[in-house]
Every structure is written in structure tokens, then in C-alpha cells.
Amino acid sequence: MKIGILEGNGIGPEIVAATKKVLEACDLGFEWVHVPIAQEAVELYGTEVPEQSLDLLRELKVAIKGPMSVEKMKGRILLTRKDGTSHIYPSNNNAIRQELNCFACPRPARGIPGISGRYENMDVVIIREISEGIYSAIEHRIQGDLASEAVKLITRAGAERICRWAFEYAIQNHRRKVTCSHKANAISLTDGLFLETFRRVAKDYPEIESEDLMVDATAYYLVKDPKRFDVIVTMNQYGDILSDLCAGLIGSLGLGAGANIGQECAIFEACHGSAPDIAGRGIANPTSLILSAVMLLRHIGRPDMADKVEQAVRAVLTEGRTITRDLGGTATTEEFTGAIIDKLRLS
Ligand code: NAD
């Protein structure tokens, strides 16, 4: 099977290489197809997110993506399509998700014995909507530089699509409860529409418990009492922030897995960024992307192999002998990856 590879930058190429090695050890005959994006794509095609790469991803349907840096206060990607239409996106990460109609971003945070301390038993999945919200690049200045405003776009169709997806996810993954996280008291029309839609969709899933909670209270309870949560469905920015919080609670951003799922394509990527502060030193924790690859294995219908890889990763982490610096160890990315592969071969 062919899998698209978007290397990203910063620690991207390091954690992508580690993830490929683990997947190769599964002996499933994966064939890697390099997909150029960002600087490399500019050199080849003159643009950061070229149609050629998007078409390739549509054809492959499944890809692994390393994180990509986004310049602060500049991030506006003008993407021109084959039909001559164009669109502005806040970043190339966002452009890829939007052009491929990815809308659901599941980000599991499962505590690890020996690593996660009082969050050892945490088991929460954030389902972040990624096609609308405040990251829609609808922004402008008012009267020169006196003020600026951004539009938070929530559509009934977009809210319904993600809420339904969250309940379906809960059923398929034997989860008991879906919490909608919002701020409908302060942003009553946009977050209100999301909440109203959630409550309506919830009625179609009586077997799944449902509740809603303000996003600030969600953050509080995630820290104080994470056991009250199971699946959390939320808008783009809240999901972005809450998923980093969850990764931090279980021990490190280097543990935060994720995926961008849509009808056309599924791209598996960690929830963190390119970590420029540790890039090129061989010390990044690749768990986040390896566990994203576990999600890929489930997505392509290999839950058996997904379970094996996940168990190998968790066993190496729990044993604590070969863990990376973000978790208090001294192992390099390569040593840690090697320990997972050894464990996998024994299973
Ligand atoms: P970051 O997530 O890259 O890093 C935050 C902290 O976590 C840093 O100290 C970093 O060293 C650590 N960290 C992250 N991943 C780690 C890993 N796998 N192992 C060990 N430590 C890890 O956040 P940032 O520094 O704010 O962002 C860096 C760049 O990444 C920015 O340009 C940002 O725009 C971009 N970004 C990209 C994506 C994406 O590609 N999807 C997502 C978020 C941020």
C-alpha cells in the first residue's frame, strides 16, 4: 500500500523517519511516496502548497505528515487552484486541511503508567473541528493600523458534520459520553449555533451520554478531574488549545497523536509543532507521530497491528529505561525508536 509522506521541517524529518521505521517493522509492505510541500514545493512548482501535491494526496488517500513551521504575523498563503480560483489560508498546514476537505481532527490523550503521574488513568479524545472557526483567515485591518478584526465562521452544516462524527466515533470506539466544549455565553451566535446543533444531534444517539461545558471550565476540569471526560467535541481553536493541554497533562507534547480526516483523504500528524528549539539534535520524542501512525493502521483496517504497535510504545515508555529527554530520560530519537522496534519484534 502507498502512503504519502510530508516530511515537514524542524523536528518533522526526524520524527517522520522514526515513524517510517516502526511501520516498516510491521512488514505490511508499505511504499512511501514523497509529497513536496513548503520550501521544496516552492523550488519545484513555485508555490508552497501546489495542486500537484494536493492531487497526489487525493490519489493516495492516506499520508503521514511532519509538523511545519509557520511565520508569526505573516502566515497568509495564497493558493491558486487549477481552475484559476484562489483562496487565502493562514498557513500551509491549514491550506492542506482545507483543500482536501479534512474536517475532523481526533486527538487522543491516554495516560501512561510510570510516565503520566496523577494523569496515568486519563483517557480523553479531543475531536477538533478543523474546517471553520477562527482559523478561517477572514481577517482585516480597520482604518489602517488602528484596529483589526477576525471572523469566527461557524456553519450549521459544519457543526452538524463534526458533532455527528464525534458521536459515530464514540460508538465505533466503545466510548460512553460526548462533551461539547464551547463559550456560548460570550459568543452566543457562533458558539450558540455549535451548541444548539450538538444538542440536536445528541438526540439521535440516546445510547451515548451527552453534556456541554464552557471551554474555560473544560480546561479546569481536565486538570482537576479528567475522569469526568471521555470524548470532547469542540471548535477549531478550542480543540487546538485543549489538545496541547491534554498532551501536557499526560507528560509531554511529544505524546500527542492526531489526524486530519475528511471524505477525500486522511493525514496523520502529531498535535505539536516543529519544535525548532530541539530540531536537528536527534532528541525529539517521536511517540506523537508513531501513535498517529497507530491511528493510520486502524484507519486502513489493521487494528491488530495498531494494537501491537501501541502496546510496544506503551511498554517501552512504562519501563522507562529508554525514554527521551522531554520525559526525563536521556535516549535519542533513534535509541527510543530502536527500543520500540525490538519490543514489536518480540510480540
Ligand atoms: P511546538 O509544539 O513546536 O513546541 C512547544 C514545546 O514542546 C517546545 O519546547 C518543543 O521542544 C516541545 N515539543 C514539541 N514536540 C515535541 C516532541 N515531539 N518531542 C519533544 N519535545 C517536543 O510549538 P511552537 O514552538 O509554538 O511552534 C513551533 C512551530 O511549529 C511554529 O512555527 C508553529 O507555527 C508551528 N506549528 C505547526 C503545526 C503543524 O504543523 N500542524 C502545529 C503547531 C505549530
Cross-strand pairs, 278: none
137-162: average pLDDT: 94
Residue 232 contacts residue 179 (beta carbons within 8 Å) = yes
Give yes or no for residue 277 CB within 6 A of ligand 1.
Answer: yes
Cβ-contact 250, 112 below 8 angstroms: yes
Torsion of CA 99, 287, 108, 56, to 10 degrees: 20
Return the amino acid letter for 287: T
- Statement: residue 74 has pLDDT above 80: no
Cα separation of 162 and 53, whole Å?
Answer: 26
**CB distance 241 to ligand 1 below 6 Å:** no
| Strand duo 209-214 + 77-80: pairing | unpaired
Work out the average pLDDT over 72-80.
79
CB of 219 within 8 A of CB of 245?
A: yes
The stretch 217-225 carries a mean pLDDT of 98
- Report the largest interatomic distance among the alpha carbons of the chain, rounded to a whole angstrom: 66
Q: Over the stretch 244-255, which tens digit does the pLDDT of each residue have?
A: 999 999 999 999
Give the closest residue (by CA) to ligand 1 atom 37: 273
Distance CA 100, CA 94 (A): 10
Q: Does residue 334 have a pLDDT over 90?
A: yes
Atom of ligand 1 nearest to the CA of 71: 32
Asked whether the beta carbons of 137 and 75 are under 8 A apart, the reply is no
- pTM for this predicted structure: 0.97
In a mutational test of the pocket of ligand 1, which residue from 253, 255, 323, 334 has the highest number of ligand atoms less than 8 Å from its CB? 253
- In contact, 35 and 53? CB cutoff 8 Å: yes
Q: Exposure of 267 by Cβ count < 10 A (0-12 exposed, 13-18 middle, 19+ buried)?
A: buried
Mean per-residue pLDDT for 27-38?
Answer: 97
Which pLDDT band holds residue 137 (cuts at 50, 70, 90)? confident
- CA dist 280 and 119 (Å) reads 30
CB neighbourhood size of 213 (10 A):
18
Question: For ligand 1, what atom is nearest to the CA of residue 91?
Answer: 34
Determine contact, residues 39/72, Cβ cutoff 8 Å: no
Section 90-97 average pLDDT: 92
pLDDT given for residue 170 in this prediction: 98
CA angle 281, 272, 261 (to 5 degrees): 130
135: pLDDT strictly greater than 80: yes
Q: Answer yes or no: is the C-beta of 276 below 6 A from any ligand 1 atom.
A: yes
Lowest mean pLDDT among 80-94, 165-179, 194-208, 300-314: 80-94
Give 38 Cα–ligand 1 centroid separation in angstroms. 17
Question: What pLDDT is stored for residue 34 in this prediction?
Answer: 98
Q: What angle do CA 259, 265, 268 make, to 5 degrees?
A: 25
Residue 284 CB less than 6 A away from ligand 1: yes
Q: What is the mean pLDDT of the segment spanning 60-81? A: 88
Per-residue pLDDT, averaged over 184-198, amounts to: 98
Q: Say if residue 154 is exposed, middle or buried (CB neighbours under 10 Å; 0-12, 13-18, 19+).
A: buried
Q: Is the pLDDT score of 9 beyond 90?
A: yes
What confidence tier does 75 reach under pLDDT thresholds 50, 70, 90? low
pLDDT tens figures, 229-281: 999 999 999 999 999 999 999 999 999 999 999 999 999 999 999 999 999 99
Asked if 347 and 142 touch (Cβ cutoff 8 Å), the reply is: no
Of 82-91, 118-127, 176-185, the range with the lowest mean pLDDT is 82-91
User: Does 93 sit in the ligand 1 pocket, CB within 6 Å?
Assistant: yes
Probe residue for ligand 1, chosen from 274, 283, 291 as the CB with the greatest number of ligand atoms within 8 Å? 274
Q: In which band, very low, low, confident or very high, does the pLDDT at 76 lie, cut at 50, 70 and 90?
A: confident
Mean pLDDT of the residues in the chain:
96
Does 245 sit in the ligand 1 pocket, CB within 6 Å? no
* Percent with pLDDT over 90 in the chain: 89
